Each structure stands twice: as structure tokens, then as C-alpha cells.
Amino acid sequence: MFRACAAATALLVGQCAAEILYAGVNSAGGEFGQQNLPGTFGVDYQFINESAIDFFLDAGVNTIRLPFLLERMCPLETGLGSTFNETYFSALEDAVNYITSKGAYAILDAHNYMRYNDPSSQPTSGSIIGNETDPKAATTTQLATFWSTLSTRFLTNPNIIYGLMNEPHTMPTQLVLTNTQAAITAIRAAGAQQLILVPGNGFTGAQSWLNTTCPTCAPNANVMGNLVDPERNFAFDMHLYFDNDTSGTHKECTRAAPGNLLPVTQWLREHNYTAFLSEFGAGDTPTCIQTLNDTITFLEDSGRFIGWTYWAAGPLWGDYFLSVEPGVGPQAETTWVDVLAVHVQRYVPMVRCGVSGNGRSGEGRVQSGLRTLEGCLGLRLPG
Ligand SMILES: *[C@@H]1O[C@H](CO)[C@@H](O)[C@H](O)[C@H]1NC(C)=O
Ligand SMILES: *[C@@H]1O[C@H](CO)[C@@H](O)[C@H](O)[C@H]1NC(C)=O
Ligand SMILES: *[C@@H]1O[C@H](CO)[C@@H](O)[C@H](O)[C@H]1NC(C)=O
Ligand SMILES: *[C@@H]1O[C@H](CO)[C@@H](O)[C@H](O)[C@H]1NC(C)=O
Ligand SMILES: *[C@@H]1O[C@H](CO)[C@@H](O)[C@H](O)[C@H]1NC(C)=O
Ligand SMILES: *[C@@H]1O[C@H](CO)[C@@H](O)[C@H](O)[C@H]1NC(C)=O
Ligand SMILES: *[C@@H]1O[C@H](CO)[C@@H](O)[C@H](O)[C@H]1NC(C)=O
């Protein structure tokens, strides 16, 4: 269970504003092979290995984040919007159903950096969605239509979490707000009630939420608070890496934690928001192991972070240094065992099957006290 709350008396329970409701891993792979459109399932891309999902769910986690590529879901011929490639959609749906039929949560992660039309050199290629001076760019309305269509398809599955966009960057922060607001409005208009994860600019870096990350990039803290969710069921989606350029591409951890989370956590507290750390990862050096351990402990005690998913598991990584894929990834026998699994054990049993929520909204949402009462007995969505 959650550390701070586990020690609290009944009187103090109300002060445990948020706890770790969601924990797990990314299963990357659906977005792989970006140079190759549409690509071949099992070769260029693949969402999960079912036996790996079984491993993680048996270990107690309740959440898997599933990246997908917008250009595969919405082929360039028809553009971003309501026309899907049903082959690609089915592959994602199969992975989602595998996860959620076991009571766990699936995060649908549009892994597109707020860009669409050329993913070949992500994160920099492609037109910025909603850039009105770029005639090739998809519009904000098209993004909203896309999310309306996708959320309509998952309307009746309580165990879905909508990850609006992976790592927007190097664009006006106001446009990140405009685009994410349009997506939220569309999802709620479709009738979907589940949790929405909302990214910021600057690769949605938790460490720089209060910082200017490019000349036109006003701090997320100054802009993203203007969001309106009629269901009041969103959390800010954040990422965090510990190497020298916070990119997660170097084995050494040179950025101490959890000092990097203090400013954003204070901001969340001041504005009564919650957040979800949907990507973080580090090498398996002693410094990195300690940094990860300290980070997760900080999330648990923060009262503001409701979940985390490690970067990354996934069926196509091979020997990628951050991979925790069972039996394959270099961290399957190190970071997973020594750090992540130890923390997950403290949360067991994790909530399964309630409508995904941010731990702060009204009735019918996931709340710690209800986890055993309601759990898989099934809160049902309309439709
Ligand atoms: C849809 O995706 C499948 C699988 O990747 C691919 O074979 C097919 O060509 C795609 N269709 C379109 C219209 O892009
Ligand atoms: C899934 O993982 C199992 C064992 O970990 C392995 O034997 C199998 O080849 C994998 N399948 C795919 C499709 O990656
Ligand atoms: C928007 O598109 C225009 C025209 O292609 C381009 O010059 C500009 O840099 C784009 N805006 C951003 C923020 O990239
Ligand atoms: C963000 O800004 C603060 C205050 O100027 C600074 O101390 C900190 O190093 C900056 N963080 C990043 C990640 O740039
Ligand atoms: C980060 O460290 C790598 C070596 O691991 C080095 O090549 C690179 O220049 C460093 N980057 C920065 C921004 O310090
Ligand atoms: C993680 O931190 C806890 C204390 O918060 C400590 O007991 C544990 O040994 C640490 N784990 C590792 C792998 O360092
Ligand atoms: C914070 O949000 C929660 C849940 O939405 C609400 O119950 C509470 O009154 C809010 N607190 C403040 C100080 O606004």
C-alpha cells in the first residue's frame, strides 16, 4: 500500500490527497519502425508479448502504457481524423483487450510529439498539429476528431486511460493547450468518462515544468492550468530522465533525484492538480539505481502523483539498455527486480476494474477505500 497513507490514522486519511493508484510499464513497439509506413505487424511494429504482460500482471502491476503511431492509425491518404486503418486498430485493440480483460488499465499513448505527417525522424520531423501557417499540417479540429473517434470505440471499457499526446516540444505552449483542450472537449462530448493524461511542452519534462524550454515555449506552469475538463478527471502526464541532457539515452545518471521534482510538485500542490509519470528510466549503475529508488519513494510520498509506468518493456527492443522485457531486457534481472518490483509489492493488491480516475474526482471513480469493495465487481460506463 501507499507509504504515507498506510501510516495515517483514520482521521488523517482525508489528507492523503492522492496515492499510487497505477503502476506498471510501457510496452513500447507499436510505434516502432517509423520510417516504414504502414509497416508490417511483427516485423516493424508489435504492441505486446502476451507472456510478458502476464509476467507483469502476475507481479502485481495494474497498468500498461501502449504507444501507437498516428500515421499508422490514420493513413496519410485520408489524414488525421476518423478514418482508421482497421488492421492497425485491431492490433492495438487486441493488446488493449488482452490487458483490460485481466482487470488492468491500458494507456492509449499517441506517440507523436504533437506532429503528424512524417514520423520518419521523430521527434523532429512532421508538421506541428494546429500550425496554421503550415499548409501541410493537420488541424486542431482533426486531432479532436481523431480523439472523438478513438474514445467512442473504447467508451464502454472502464479500464482505458487516454494519453493525448507523447512529448510535445519546440512549439508555442499555447498551441499545446489549444490542442489538448480540443481533444478533452471531444472525448467528453463523445460521452467518455475515463481518465485523461494531458502532456505539456518541452517533452513534457517534469524537471522543467516551470521553465522556458525554447524561445516560444512559455513554461507549462504558466499556461496548462487553463485547461477545463467537464469531468474533472485528468492528470498531467509527465516524463523524467536522469542523464546529462534528460533524454534517457545515456547510461550514467548525473541528475540527482528527487530535487528535480520539487518545483513541479509544489506547483501541483498549489493548484490542486495530480500528475502521472508515464515515462522514466535509467541505466543500472549504482547511482541510477539509487536515483530511481529515491524518485519512486518521492512519488509515493508526494500526495500528487497518482501513478507511474517505467520506460520500458516491449517485444521488439532486443538488448536496449533500459529494457525490462522479461527474459530479454538487460534490466529484467536488475532494475525490475531490485527497484521496481519492490515498490510494486507495497501497493499490492492494486485496484483493478474500476473506471479509471485521477483519485480526486467524484463518485464512481477509483478510490483507495473502494478498491476491494468495487474492484472487478464492475463499475459500468454508459453505452
Ligand atoms: C493498414 O495497415 C496494414 C498493416 O500495417 C497494411 O498492410 C495496410 O497496407 C494498411 N492500409 C493502409 C490503407 O494504409
Ligand atoms: C514472447 O515471449 C516468450 C517468452 O518470454 C518468447 O518465447 C516468445 O518468442 C515471445 N513472442 C513474441 C511474439 O515476441
Ligand atoms: C509553422 O509552419 C511554418 C511554415 O511551415 C514554419 O515556418 C514554422 O516554423 C512552424 N511553426 C513552428 C512552431 O514550428
Ligand atoms: C528551471 O529553472 C530554475 C530556476 O531558474 C533553474 O534553477 C533550474 O535549473 C531549471 N531547470 C531546468 C531543468 O532547466
Ligand atoms: C552527455 O554525456 C555523453 C557521454 O555519456 C557525452 O557524449 C555528451 O556530450 C554529454 N552531453 C551533454 C549535454 O553534456
Ligand atoms: C530503496 O530505498 C529504501 C529506503 O527508502 C531502502 O530500504 C532500499 O534498500 C533501497 N533499495 C535499493 C535497491 O537501493
Ligand atoms: C482539490 O480538489 C479536490 C478534488 O477535486 C476537491 O475535493 C478539493 O476541495 C480541492 N481543494 C482545493 C483547496 O481546491
What confidence tens digit (pLDDT) does each residue in 105-133 have? 999 999 999 999 999 999 999 999 999 99
Question: What pLDDT is recorded for position 308?
Answer: 98
Ligand 1 atom nearest the C-alpha of 86 is 1
> End-to-end alpha-carbon separation of the chain, Å?
34
Average pLDDT on 42-50 reads 98
Q: Which residue has the higher pLDDT, 25 or 4?
A: 25
Q: ω into residue 119 within 30 of 0, thus cis?
A: no
Whether the Cβ atoms of residue 51 and residue 101 lie closer than 8 Å to each other: no
Closest CA to 93 of 47, 139, 144, 136: 47
The structure's pTM equals 0.93
Whether the Cβ atoms of residue 121 and residue 81 lie closer than 8 Å to each other: no
Whether the Cβ atoms of residue 281 and residue 322 lie closer than 8 Å to each other: yes
Q: How confident is the model at residue 381 (pLDDT cuts 50, 70, 90)?
A: very low
Closest CA to 247 of 257, 237, 235, 255: 255
**236's torsion region: left (phi>0), alpha (psi -120 to 50) or beta?**
beta
The CA angle 19-347-24, to the nearest 5 degrees, is: 90
What is the C-alpha separation between 128 and 193, in angstroms, rounded? 28
User: How far is the centre of ligand 6, averaged over its atoms, from the C-alpha of 341 (Å)?
Assistant: 12
Instruction: Output the nine-digit C-alpha cell for 230.
Output: 467537464
Whether the Cβ atoms of residue 214 and residue 169 lie closer than 8 Å to each other: yes
What is the C-alpha separation between 195 and 198, in angstroms, rounded? 10
Q: How confident is the model at residue 378 (pLDDT cuts 50, 70, 90)?
A: very low
Average pLDDT on 92-101 reads 96
For residue 79, give the amino acid letter.
G
Mean pLDDT score of the chain, rounded to an integer?
90
Domains of the chain: 3-377 (3.20.20.80)
Whether the Cβ atoms of residue 313 and residue 26 lie closer than 8 Å to each other: yes
pLDDT in tens, 51-82: 999 999 999 999 999 999 999 999 999 999 99
What is the C-alpha separation between 99 and 108, in angstroms, rounded? 12
pLDDT in tens, 206-249: 999 999 999 999 999 999 999 999 999 999 999 999 999 999 99
Sign of CA dihedral 334, 340, 346, 347: negative
For residue 5, is pLDDT > 80?
no
Question: What pLDDT is recorded for position 354?
Answer: 79
Q: Which phi and psi (to 5°) does residue 271 adopt?
A: -105, 5
Which residue from 15, 360, 363 has its CB within 8 A of the most atoms of ligand 7, so it is best to mutate?
A: 360
User: How far is the centre of ligand 4, averaged over its atoms, from the C-alpha of 266 (Å)?
Assistant: 14
What are the angstrom distances between the C-alpha of 77 and each of 16, 81, 125, 211, 228?
A: 49, 11, 18, 38, 33
Whether the Cβ atoms of residue 334 and residue 37 lie closer than 8 Å to each other: no
Question: What pLDDT is recorded for position 361?
Answer: 56
For residue 39, is pLDDT > 70?
yes
Ligand 3 site residues (CB inside 6 A) read 128, 131, 133-134, 171
Q: How confident is the model at residue 18 (pLDDT cuts 50, 70, 90)?
A: low
Question: What pLDDT is recorded for position 187?
Answer: 98
For residue 202, is pLDDT > 90?
yes
For residue 377, give the amino acid letter.
L
Q: How confident is the model at residue 362 (pLDDT cuts 50, 70, 90)?
A: very low
Question: What pLDDT is recorded for position 370?
Answer: 41
Closest CA to 229 of 66, 365, 80, 73: 365
Instruction: Output the nine-digit C-alpha cell for 243.
Output: 542523464
What is the C-alpha separation between 326 and 59, in angstroms, rounded? 11
Ligand 1 site residues (CB inside 6 A) read 38-39, 41, 75, 85, 87-88
pLDDT in tens, 291-338: 999 999 999 999 999 999 999 999 999 999 999 999 999 999 999 999
User: How far is the centre of ligand 1, averaged over its atoms, from the C-alpha of 74 (Å)?
Assistant: 10
Looking at the DSSP bridge assignments, the partners of residue 309 are 24
For residue 102, give the amino acid letter.
K
Which residue from 245, 254, 321 has its CB within 8 A of the most atoms of ligand 5, so it is best to mutate?
A: 245
Q: Indicate the DSSP class of residue 339.
A: I
Whether the Cβ atoms of residue 300 and residue 20 lie closer than 8 Å to each other: yes
Question: What pLDDT is recorded for position 368?
Answer: 42
Q: ω into residue 28 within 30 of 0, thus cis?
A: no
Whether the Cβ atoms of residue 357 and residue 366 lie closer than 8 Å to each other: yes
